[in-house]
Amino acid sequence: MSATADAERVPLAIRLFHWALAAAFIGAWALEADWRAAHEWLGYAAAALVVWRLAYAWRAPADWRWRALLHPPRKVLRHAAQLARGRAELAAGYNPIAAWNVLAMFAMLLAIAASGWALTTDRYWGDQTLQALHAALVDLMGWLVGFHLLGVAVGSLRARGFLPRSMLDGRRLPH
């Protein structure tokens, strides 16, 4: 395989990160009621994965760096407007909407983990306000995940292919 073909692929680290993060979040959510220890550790694992990803944004290949993740709001609006008119360019990296979607999910996971940790301390043990906040953040995260999947669906239509495959074999489709 040539170096260029390699560079065009989603790095294996990103793919593993993506699925590990999804598994940690879904696992923590599913085990909330009956397996509290696992719930907590999966929550911390998710936070650790996010921290790793943010650090990796300084060293990753160009399409996964901070520069690719941070888009000014006017670019988001322009992309949305172009998308609505069916005129947005096909590109393989994060589009401005996807990038903010991803960053919002990262922020949410960190906030969920932080509030979850606080709930284990003496001070907030059983604190109803913080419990409600923790649950509300998880709810918001659910909407962000839903929006992410919706974006993947729209991208799949635009790319005329099955976008999630790129998170498995790394072969990217402009969308």
Chain residues binding another protein by CB under 8 A are 29, 32-33, 36, 120, 122, 125-128, 131, 135-136, 138-139, 141-143, 145-147, 149-150, 152-154, 156-157, 161-164
Q: Which is nearer to another protein, 7 or 150 (CB)?
A: 150
Give least dist CB 26 to another protein, A. 9
Contact predicate 159/151, CB 8 Å: no
Give least dist CB 113 to another protein, A. 15
Q: Which is nearer to another protein, 69 or 112 (CB)?
A: 112
- Which tokens is 75 given? 């670019």
Q: What is the DSSP letter of 47?
A: H
Give least dist CB 67 to another protein, A. 28
Q: What residues contact 162, with CB distance under 8 A and at least 6 apart? A: 156
Amino acid (1-letter code) at residue 27? G
Contact predicate 34/69, CB 8 Å: no
- Total count of residues recorded for the chain: 175
Q: Which is nearer to another protein, 70 or 133 (CB)?
A: 133
- Which tokens is 61 given? 């290949």
Burial class (CB in 10 A: 0-12, 13-18, 19+), 85: exposed
Give least dist CB 60 to another protein, A. 25
Return d(Cα 54, Cα 48) in angstroms, integer.
Answer: 10
Q: Which is nearer to another protein, 53 or 134 (CB)?
A: 134
Give least dist CB 122 to another protein, A. 7
Q: Which is nearer to another protein, 39 or 78 (CB)?
A: 39
Put residue 43 in one of left, alpha, beta given phi > 0 → left and psi -120 to 50 → alpha: alpha
